[in-house]
Amino acid sequence: MADLKSLFEAAVANSKNLSERPDNATLLKIYALYKQAAEGDVEGKKPGFGDMVGRAKWDAWNGFKGTEKDDAMQQYIDLVQSLS
């Protein structure tokens, strides 16, 4: 069985070559799961109202707070595979 990190890295590469661009909510979920898997829980202050994109990304990532890195990797892999 291939290890989780290898599967995750393959999914990251595959996410850049999807046949269709996912909707914004799915893109935020992909981003948030990637960040949670790569870095863990979100840190720092929430961006202000003037940075709507940064704020949406922060909120999405914060939604996975407490999720173990391995769990986030597996969810990321599953999501990208479902979009392929």
Q: What is the pLDDT of residue 46?
A: 92
Q: Determine the pLDDT at residue 84.
A: 84
DSSP secondary structure, the chain, as one string: ---HHHHHHHHHHHHTT-SSPPPHHHHHHHHHHHHHHHH-S--SPPP-TT-HHHHHHHHHHHTTTT--HHHHHHHHHHHHHHH-
pLDDT score for 1: 47
pLDDT at 2: 64
pLDDT, residue 79, reads 95
Residue 66 has pLDDT above 70, yes or no: yes
pLDDT in tens, 7-59: 999 999 999 998 899 999 999 999 999 999 999 999 989 999 899 999 999 99
Assigned CATH for 4-83: 1.20.80.10
